[in-house]
Amino acid sequence: MRTPRAARAVIWPRSAGLAAPARGRRRERLLLCLFFGVVALCASGLFLPAPLVAPEPTPIVYDRNGAFLAQIGAGAEHGYWPLRAIPARVALATLALEDRRFFSHPGVEARAVLRAAWRNVSGRGRREGASTIAMQVARMQAPAPRSFGAKLMEAATALALISRHGHEAVLAHYLRLAPYGNGSHGVAHAARFYFDKPVEDLSLAEIALLAAVPQSPGRMNLFREHGLTLARARAARALAHLREEGAVDAAQVALAERQLATLRPIGAARRLDALHLALRYESLIGDGAIMARSKDDPRIHASIDLSLQERVAALARRYLSLWRGAGARQAAVMVVERGTGAVLADVGSSDYRDPREGAIDFTRVQRSPGSTLKPFVYALAFERDALRATDIVSDIPEGASGVDNADGLFLGPMLPRQALANSRNVPATNLLRRVGLEANFRFLHDLRLHDLEAPAESFGVAMAIGALPTRLERLVAAYGALAEDGVLSDLVFATEQTRRRSIRVMSTDTARLVTSMLADPLARLPSFPRYGPLEYPFAVAVKTGTSQGYRDAWTIAFSRKAIVGVWLGRGDAGVMNRLSGAASAARLAHAVLAHMHGAKPGDLSEDSFPAPEGRIPVEMCLAGGANGGACNETLVEWVKPHERPAAALAAPALAAGPTQPAALAITTPEHRTHIWRNPEQPAALNRLALKASATPSVGQILWYVDGEPFALAEADAAVYWPMRPGTHRIQARAPMRPEASRIVEITVE
């Protein structure tokens, strides 16, 4: 935008001048002639090409809600944005403070130089620099130590700049490069950095405040109260001059003066605590994976939810503190939105500044994944028709190739659902051998879990239990393929990100079948007890992992809303004191998912994962559960119609539709009962019997007291609750089903 002639006339009147003092006029003329003689020589085109040079635009990253996240650039301390045009009011306020006669001199102002030279030579008054806008541009483009020679070069370059490019181009370049404090350079960047708006939308008060800063960016730090006060005072001078010269309407100036009194930047004064996250975006931008859509507005819109990021980081620190005594030093967490693959939280360590390897981003470090690769071993077996859901696999020492289970036990013959949910090592390694080492190695490569060139034989069957290293970020993305019906996609960190095409790595049927196994709490028995950290009040598929020697503890869990990946361990790969994934990382993953779902104690959601299409639910007898032809223990398996097992292996088939609802009622105690405890009776005998009826029978009843699970019992069995003084609420529920009795309230005295 060209500066209006009227504005030029107002700010730089032709009559403006400065008379030299009478005394010492000959000395001044001599100094001035010498000065301009050297300047004229240096300014010749043979010696000074005088280009206008600007750095590359500096991206600013904002979270998904518009909160400042990080500035990415060369050192990230030199923020710069281009300036497409000069807003007239920005030019007026800037020149009012920096160079009022800018359009009246050729780049060096003779009167100012004369005055400065006289004061500096004579020692009268404070020293002056006499730097014009053009001279400041010369200095910003080629910084040099302050000296008389450097001043001569600045003046010479200033003359050349104006001569070659003209006043308006030089003014525009000054507004691109001028320092506005806190690493912000150029008014376009400063407008976004301090006020989160384009420079064209700045108010007159905001313009005046920014125009005040370049004279002394360190002293006029807008993020400090003293600096803000100094900047306001100088901005008021700019507004007063604009009013006096009639450059801006008096009413607008009056409004700006009132606003200036309370104006303060809305930008973030603090540095981002999540430095790993800033480095992540720096890497993505540097690699070209994220590119701003416009050089004039290089904003990056991150997928990160900064408030969730801070909450997850706080949870990681809190839970890590519980396990430091067992040798854990660091934790890393990633949270990914289901459906979009957007990374909502990315916590690389407990704290970047933590001397215990805190500077390492453990979401990007290769570690042994323990048993977290087992679901993909089963998935490939289902894909290759090497395994069916109704097959029996063996968890026995014979044929295990020396592989043992983490608990040192063997559970015998079992269904694949049980073997995977119980995370048994022997069936997984036998299955990997059956399908083939090379096939599994390639499949894990297709899932982008590794990019190794080593032969598959170098990892052997231990590939299924942690021998093949991977990263948390890769593991979370691979589980995304299970969560998204077999389609693998890149994790998304920003809307400006360039992504690879999503690819199908397994069938929808396989992905849903494996997900149903990972989400089945009954299938996890007996290795993982009910109502522990692997069980949620809403549908969650979860898998834990523990590497050899307890060096790494993992949990990957996904609900309908999000995928959460957690790693726990040490930067030096040292051993922890028996910290398994189920005992540690699973608890942190549970806390994160519960927070995201807003789950409260006692909540029970009816949601579930989609069933595999074309399969029917069949109630399967567990191996070893038969007694004289009766089936004592069963699991529901999703079976293809033609794979339906023989009657001897299965209980009666369930209807394809929903289970008939059961009516639950508490028979003992009655609602609003008052009970008095016997103070002379032993505490163990002060118990209250809880009984309920169910029509039709539900098999088991889960008792809740004051919103917390208390006991799981057979439907016709009494449960004894240790009485505590106070008013209590009791409810009976059907496990993993929505049916529940009405709440019975009792008071114990």
Q: 188: pLDDT confidence band, cut at 50, 70 and 90?
A: very high
Helical H segments across 402-555, by residue range: 416-421, 425-435, 437-446, 472-483, 508-518
pLDDT value of position 603: 72
Mean pLDDT of 419-435: 94
pLDDT value of position 652: 40
pLDDT in tens, 367-398: 999 999 999 999 999 999 999 999 988 888 76
Q: 705-728 burial string, b = 16+ CB within 10 Å, else e?
A: beeebbeebebeeebebebeeeeb
pLDDT value of position 23: 43
Would the pLDDT of 196 be above 60?
A: yes
Model pTM above 0.85:
no
Taking the C-alpha atoms of residue 548 and residue 736, their distance in angstroms, rounded to an integer, is 34
Instruction: Select the highest-mean-pLDDT range: 17-21, 28-32, 210-214.
Output: 210-214
Are 590 and 596 in contact by the 8 Å Cβ rule? The answer is no
- For residue 228 the two structure tokens come to 């803000």
3 state SS of 239: helix
Would the pLDDT of 257 be above 50?
A: yes
pLDDT in tens, 663-676: 888 988 988 888 88
Taking the C-alpha atoms of residue 560 and residue 610, their distance in angstroms, rounded to an integer, is 10
- CATH number for 663-748 (one of 2.60.40.420, 3.30.565.10, 2.60.40.10, 2.60.120.340): it is 2.60.40.10
pLDDT in tens, 677-732: 777 667 667 888 899 888 777 777 888 888 877 887 788 888 888 888 999 999 98
> Which burial class, exposed, middle or buried, applies to 240 when counting CB atoms under 10 A from its CB (0-12, 13-18, 19+)?
middle
Whether the upstream peptide bond of residue 526 has omega within 30° of 0, thus cis, is yes
Strands 562-569 and 503-504 turn out to be unpaired
pLDDT value of position 57: 87
> Which burial class, exposed, middle or buried, applies to 451 when counting CB atoms under 10 A from its CB (0-12, 13-18, 19+)?
exposed
From the list 741, 735, 740, 322, the residue with the least C-alpha distance to 530 is 735
Mean pLDDT of 19-28: 45
pLDDT in tens, 208-248: 999 999 999 999 999 999 999 999 999 999 999 999 888 88
To which residue do tokens 């800063």 refer?
213
330 pairs with which residues across the strands? 569
Are 619 and 654 in contact by the 8 Å Cβ rule? The answer is yes
Taking the C-alpha atoms of residue 3 and residue 533, their distance in angstroms, rounded to an integer, is 67
Whether the upstream peptide bond of residue 669 has omega within 30° of 0, thus cis, is yes
Instruction: Mention every residue, 6+ apart, whose C-beta is less than 8 A from residue 332.
Output: 316, 347, 348, 349, 361, 362, 363, 472, 566, 567
Task: Give the residue, 520 or 738, on which the prediction is more confident.
Answer: 520
pLDDT value of position 130: 67
3 state SS of 341: coil
Taking the C-alpha atoms of residue 290 and residue 343, their distance in angstroms, rounded to an integer, is 14
3 state SS of 149: helix
pLDDT value of position 5: 45
Task: Give the residue, 146 or 648, on which the prediction is more confident.
Answer: 146
Mean pLDDT of 614-626: 74
Would the pLDDT of 656 be above 50?
A: no
pLDDT value of position 37: 57
pLDDT value of position 518: 98
Helical H segments across 287-370, by residue range: 306-323
pLDDT in tens, 97-134: 998 888 988 888 866 666 655 555 555 555 455 689 99
pLDDT value of position 14: 34
pLDDT value of position 29: 54
Q: Which helix (H) or strand (E) holds 209?
A: helix 204-212
Mean pLDDT of 398-408: 71
55-83+178-271, CATH topology level: Penicillin binding protein transpeptidase fold (1.10.3810)
Instruction: Select the highest-mean-pLDDT range: 70-74, 268-272, 393-397.
Output: 393-397
For the chain, the structural domain boundaries read: 24-53+100-166, 55-83+178-271, 315-387+421-597, 616-649, 663-748
Q: 1: pLDDT confidence band, cut at 50, 70 and 90?
A: very low
Mean pLDDT of 22-33: 52
Q: Which stretch of 612-626, 631-645, 702-716 has the lowest confidence by average pLDDT?
A: 612-626
Task: Give the residue, 657 or 344, on which the prediction is more confident.
Answer: 344
CATH superfamily name and code, 315-387+421-597: DD-peptidase/beta-lactamase superfamily (3.40.710.10)
3-state secondary structure 272-286: CCCHHHHHHHHHHHH
Taking the C-alpha atoms of residue 93 and residue 233, their distance in angstroms, rounded to an integer, is 14
730 pairs with which residues across the strands? 705, 744
- For residue 115 the two structure tokens come to 């005055």
Taking the C-alpha atoms of residue 444 and residue 451, their distance in angstroms, rounded to an integer, is 9
Left (φ > 0), alpha (ψ -120 to 50) or beta: where does 193 sit?
alpha
- Please, what is the Cα angle at 33 between 30 and 35, to 5 degrees? 105
pLDDT in tens, 476-518: 999 999 999 999 999 999 999 999 999 999 999 999 999 999 9
To which residue do tokens 């297709």 refer?
446
Mean pLDDT of 395-412: 75
From the list 492, 497, 109, 80, the residue with the least C-alpha distance to 296 is 80
Mean of per-residue pLDDT scores for the chain: 85
pLDDT value of position 143: 83
Taking the C-alpha atoms of residue 422 and residue 534, their distance in angstroms, rounded to an integer, is 11
Would the pLDDT of 439 be above 90?
A: yes
pLDDT value of position 382: 97
Mean pLDDT of 543-569: 96
Q: Which stretch of 438-442, 655-659, 718-722 has the lowest confidence by average pLDDT?
A: 655-659
From the list 339, 50, 326, the residue with the least C-alpha distance to 173 is 50
Are 748 and 724 in contact by the 8 Å Cβ rule? The answer is yes
